[in-house]
Amino acid sequence: MSQTVTPELRAWIVAQATAGFAPDAVLRAMVEAGWTEAVALDALEHTLSEHLAQRAPAQPVSQPPRRRASAPADGAASFAPALPQPDLRGAPRLLDAGDREVAVLASLRRPQLVVFGNLLAPEECEALVAAARPRMSRSLTVETQTGGEALNADRTSQGMFFRRGETELIARIEARIARLLHWPVSHGEGLQVLQYRPGAEYKPHYDYFDPREPGTAKITQRGGQRVATLVIYLNEPVRGGGTTFPDVGLEVAPQRGNAVFFAYDRPHPATQTLHGGAPVLEGEKWVATKWLREREFT
């Protein structure tokens, strides 16, 4: 049964925030009262954001729960988000990524998702594929039971990782991503390149590490949780191969040089970041994936 956010509920949320209750405590109270966590979190974000816009700057009120970054990206002093994200204030059509202007093609509030155009030039896509091709092997997934890596029947691609800053091309792309998303290069994993041949896919999954699994503590020692994902399309399969988001009924078609970005403020399905790589039906698909962490990734 669907739940409706009523004016009475919004008034109650504002009253709790004004009284000094932390957003996490308000969220917990709503869940205990029977609200689903996704609805409760969305109500908190929208209500407090609207309320803040109506208040004078000298009248603070508790913000919705967000992670805090350990440091902002270089050059991001005027816009230091709690999660990696582009600056979409003012509804820009183009964003400054340092050495390149990147187009904003589409965006969602929940999940926090943006489709970018022109993130990579065609020759950069070709160079990444050429550099990665000799090093490809069957893709592994992080194994949260043990903290290691393992083959996964849900993932049938070939892949490899570049070390952070391994080549001039990799360093240039990483600096561009850091400026675009306002997140330090040091807080990113190495760029992974994946190849999907006909029939290959990656079934829907989450990119964060499940905190309930025994191996997660070991995995997060190297930089904390993952908090965002950027998937860059390096070519265009003839048919299939889109990036799907089942919770919101969205599929992003692969277009060379474009990318889809999504962030998740905590490791929970309420972020609605369930996603997958649809099967390639004809041709092949090449993508580069960048995962961003809470802290410096070592």
What is the model's pLDDT at position 221?
95
What is the model's pLDDT at position 146?
60
Of 58-62, 87-91, 156-160, the range with the highest mean pLDDT is 87-91
Question: Do 261 and 181 form a contact (C-beta atoms < 8 A)?
Answer: yes
Tally Cβ neighbours within 10 Å of residue 229: 22
Average pLDDT over residues 6-14: 86
What is the model's pLDDT at position 59?
42
Average pLDDT over residues 135-156: 65
Question: What digits encode the pLDDT tens for the residues 17-55?
Answer: 777 777 777 888 888 888 888 888 888 888 887 776 665
Question: Do 244 and 250 form a contact (C-beta atoms < 8 A)?
Answer: yes
What is the model's pLDDT at position 30?
84
What is the model's pLDDT at position 104?
98
Q: Burial level of 119, CB count in 10 A (0-12/13-18/19+)?
A: buried
Tally Cβ neighbours within 10 Å of residue 15: 11
What is the model's pLDDT at position 63?
42
Residue 223 has pLDDT above 50, yes or no: yes
E strand residue ranges, the chain: 94-96, 101-108, 112-117, 137-138, 141-143, 148-150, 158-161, 192-196, 202-205, 226-233, 239-240, 243-245, 250-252, 259-263, 275-277, 280-282, 285-293
CATH class held by domain 94-293: mainly beta
Share of the chain above pLDDT 90, in %: 64
Helix H or strand E encompassing 169: helix 168-181
Residue type at 209?
Answer: F
Average pLDDT over residues 212-235: 95
Question: What digits encode the pLDDT tens for the residues 172-191?
Answer: 999 999 999 999 999 999 99
What is the model's pLDDT at position 90?
94
What is the model's pLDDT at position 151?
54
Average pLDDT over residues 213-225: 94
Residue type at 157?
Answer: S
3-state secondary structure of 84: coil
CA 123/CA 30 separation, integer angstroms: 51
Q: Burial level of 169, CB count in 10 A (0-12/13-18/19+)?
A: middle
Which residue would you say has higher pLDDT here, 24 or 136?
A: 136
Residue 295 has pLDDT above 90, yes or no: yes
Domain chopping of the chain, boundaries: 7-54, 94-293
Least confidently predicted of 2-11, 21-30, 144-153, 158-167: 144-153
DSSP 3-state helix, strand, coil percentages of the chain (rounded to 5)?
A: 25, 25, 45
Which residue would you say has higher pLDDT here, 27 or 157?
A: 27
Token pair for 209: 């590490």
Torsions phi, psi of 261, nearest 5? Answer: -120, 140
What is the model's pLDDT at position 65?
46
What is the model's pLDDT at position 62?
41
Nearest CA-CA partner of 222 in 297, 146, 141, 144: 297
Question: What digits encode the pLDDT tens for the residues 282-293?
Answer: 999 999 999 999
Tally Cβ neighbours within 10 Å of residue 167: 13
What is the model's pLDDT at position 81?
73
